[in-house]
Amino acid sequence: MYTGSKTELNNFGVPAVTLGQLLISATGNWAAPNPALGFSPFYGRFASNPGTSTILGDAIAAEGTFFLFWAGLDDFFLYAAFGGDPTQAPITDAAAFEFQYGAAIGLLLSSNPELKGVIGNFPNIFATPHFTAVAWNAIPLDAATAGIVQTNLAANYNAFLEGMALMGVIDEEEMTMRILNFDAGQNPVLIVDETLTDLTPYMAGPYADLLPYAQARQTKNTDILPLSAGTVLGTAVGGDAAKIYGVTVPLPDRYALIPTEIAQIEAARTAFNATVSTVASTFGERIALADVNGSFNALLGTQFATYNGITLTPNINPPTGIYSEDGVHPNTRGYAF
């Protein structure tokens, strides 16, 4: 815990917290460190009164005369980083975000009638290296290995799918989507897609070996794999060389984003940006809007920019790249931009 005077601090940015966590005391409560209630060890380390104080309250108590407020990105980024798995990190409802954002800015402005600041909107996270580094067809196979997997897995699974289509359990479109195919070269990644028909009830008896594939398909170019997928792709499950993540074992939900999840995340970002814009307009005499989204889109459009003789590129590649190793947080060059 930070034991000095809280007035000595001027940076109350806390990583990996949602907007709502700025407003609740549970965020810094070391006495009951429950992540499900919003606890963050990062805030707990410097909370002025753990279990009672809040991030925003501590920021207000510092009695600053100007503020920069760029909270809310993690209300959709964390959900995306965990592959759209709500059990790992849920996405914030647009109405809840609007209420919490308004409450946070209202508390800031009411704390000091002279206080002014800048608020920022949110860029397209799917254009960052965190979501582009792992390709949808990231599985390299030689001809011999592809033939083995095609014979031992794909042939049986595909025949089963054809039977399910004949029985009317799935339609032709879903059958085609789920058909597996392995060739020499770069192959799609085998994933779990929770929007597919769950075929578990039909996988008893001679089809019991297909249970891991009850909602499986290979990725398309419309799917996105977060950077974390790269840590498990191609690894053996339980040390079994025949069970390889992304090849013969589907990647769990947390390692893949399917089109419905991508659309949900983008819809949330659009709604959140609308809230930020409305707040900036409402308090136009005291708040300016930093169009982070527009600046980032401009950099993406040109793929480079030069400021004071320094070249920037929207990637992770040194020396000009603006991202750190995690592919989403800026490096020093990116933060300067």
Amino acid identity of residue 159, one-letter, is: A
pTM: 0.93
Residue 121 neighbours by CB under 8 Å, 6+ apart: 272, 273, 276, 277, 289, 290, 291, 292, 293
DSSP string, 203-240: --GGGGGGGGGTTEEE--TT-BB-GGGGGTTTPBGGG-
Residue 191 confidence (pLDDT) above 80: yes
Assigned token pair, 137: 């067809």
Task: Express each pLDDT in 64-105 by its tens digit.
Answer: 999 999 999 999 999 999 999 999 999 999 999 999 999 999
Helix and strand counts by DSSP (H, E) for the chain = 11, 9
Rounded CA-CA distance 49/272 in Å is: 30
**CA proximity to 191, closest of 175, 209, 177, 172:** 177
Residue 7 confidence (pLDDT) above 70: no
Lowest-confidence region among 93-107, 174-188, 312-326: 312-326
What pLDDT score was predicted for residue 337? 87
Residue 3 confidence (pLDDT) above 80: no
Residue 4 confidence (pLDDT) above 70: no
Residue 234 confidence (pLDDT) above 80: yes
What pLDDT score was predicted for residue 1? 53
Band of residue 233 on the pLDDT scale cut at 50, 70, 90: very high
Band of residue 180 on the pLDDT scale cut at 50, 70, 90: very high
DSSP string, 110-148: HH-TT-EEEEE----GGGSHHHHSB-TT-EEE-HHHHHH
Burial class (CB in 10 A: 0-12, 13-18, 19+), 193: buried
Mean pLDDT of the chain: 95
Residue 6 confidence (pLDDT) above 60: no
Classify strands 310-312 and 185-187 as parallel, antiparallel or unpaired.
unpaired
Q: What is the mean pLDDT of residues 161-173?
A: 97
Residue 237 confidence (pLDDT) above 90: yes
Task: Express each pLDDT in 11-34 by its tens digit.
Answer: 999 999 999 999 999 999 999 999
